Amino acid sequence: MGERKRIGLVFSYNENWIAGAYYILNIVHALNTINDKEKPEVTILSESENNFDIIVKETQYPYLNFIAFPLEKIKFSILERVINKLSFVILKKKLITKNNNIPQLDFTYPKQLYLISKKIKKVNWIPDFQEDYLPQFFSEEEILKRKRFQKNVIANGDFVVLSSHDAKSDFVRLYPSAKSKPFVLQFAVTHPDFLHENIEDLKLKYKLNKPYFFAPNQFWAHKNHIILLKAVKCLKDNGIDVLVAMSGKENDYRNKENFKKLKDYIKENLIEDNVVFLGFLPRTEQLCLFKNCIAVIQPSLFEGWSTVVEDAKRLNKFLILSNLEVHKEQVLENVMFFNPCSVSDLAHAIESVNKKLPLIKSPNYKSNVERFGKDFMKLVNLATI
């Protein structure tokens, strides 16, 4: 057997963008589905060994290593700096050099890394081009930062990874002369065991006193929770009482007033009994609530490739989704689409599903995870030729 490919994955557990952490976990899970002889050696590059322990515990992947990242800065004493300065003036070279224990890797992801990526092909993931569609949700500084990253990637990188064909279309439209080659990698999810969670206990804990719809998204403005609240009010005005549970971090650093506006709307329109905010949930609690809801609602104005949607597909739940092209690419069955700018359209969808849940088809989701693992290794092999 030849040597295993050596890949480095940058991993950080950040509740403000938990989907990013789940993305890396799902890659490692997917790699666990491929033949052992093809499994790469995976080095987790992270600021904390606790983060590495999360990967080890959740994935049980057999070929894992850990390296503290960012790499520790090389330090020189005052005497060493003086010697190097003099030697460079006299000999045109530094006499004292030190290595930074740079890991020997064939591939890094989801971005190229200074020092580590110098001698290997540069692969970068661009989750989406949201700022091109919804610039009002970004500061000028953040838009410039995103554009600088994209332009650097397309000028100096070798491959750009996009999570959907919809995102690839945006990439080709925005950067028709890009040096970097686009590669579509549609991810799939693997879940931790949550059988120990008791749904009745969770209903009691979170005051879910009747069947509920679930909207498990962080409260970014583009997630469009306001249209869902307006649909709930519309239904209530017409004598239809539904309960919607919403989970996720309740802050949006780009739009700090967003969550307050949602709470104010609920209070002003007397729908406190119809909406429950659950906060940021432990993953196993979230999955148990997923599994036992009537249906999952995602009214987003923009998505790259949604973890929430993949979670619902994995758990065989019916979805009520905004009619984005990426949603249509991501979900082919067990779904009802609606116009994310139409209160009546969403209210009608919720009423319809609440009255009678459509027949659920049961596709083999495991094949999606296996495909994800194979596609990821296809990317690795392309980048290590």
pLDDT reading at 212 higher than 60 = yes
Lowest-confidence pick of 10-24, 209-223, 256-270? 10-24
Q: Do domains 6-189+370-383 and 199-364 have the same CATH topology?
A: yes
Residue 113 pLDDT grade (very low, low, confident, very high; cuts 50, 70, 90): confident
Residue 15 pLDDT grade (very low, low, confident, very high; cuts 50, 70, 90): confident
At 71-101, the pLDDT tens digits run: 666 677 788 778 878 888 888 888 777 666 6
pLDDT reading at 13 higher than 90 = no
Whole-angstrom distance, CA of residue 186 vs CA of residue 152: 23
pLDDT reading at 2 higher than 60 = yes
Lowest-confidence pick of 101-105, 169-173, 293-297, 363-367? 101-105
Task: Specify the pLDDT at position 25.
Answer: 98
What is the CATH number assigned to the segment(s) 199-364? 3.40.50.2000
The predicted model gives 229-252 an average pLDDT of 97
Strand order across the 159-162 sheet: 123-125, 159-162, 181-184
Whole-angstrom distance, CA of residue 22 vs CA of residue 189: 8
Task: Specify the pLDDT at position 98.
Answer: 64
Residue 208 pLDDT grade (very low, low, confident, very high; cuts 50, 70, 90): very high
Contact assessment for residue 300 and residue 340, using Cβ atoms and an 8 Å cutoff: yes
At 345-377, the pLDDT tens digits run: 999 999 999 999 999 999 899 999 999 999 999
Percent of the chain's residues with pLDDT above 90: 82
Domain 6-189+370-383 in CATH 1.10.287? no
Task: Specify the pLDDT at position 301.
Answer: 98
Q: What is the DSSP letter of 241?
A: -
Whole-angstrom distance, CA of residue 232 vs CA of residue 234: 5
Domain segments of the chain as ranges: 6-189+370-383, 199-364
Report which residue type is found at 253. Y
> Residue 22 has which token pair?
């789940």
Q: Which positions ≥6 away from 12 have C-beta within 8 Å?
A: 20, 21, 46, 47, 51
Lowest-confidence pick of 56-60, 113-117, 226-230, 350-354? 113-117
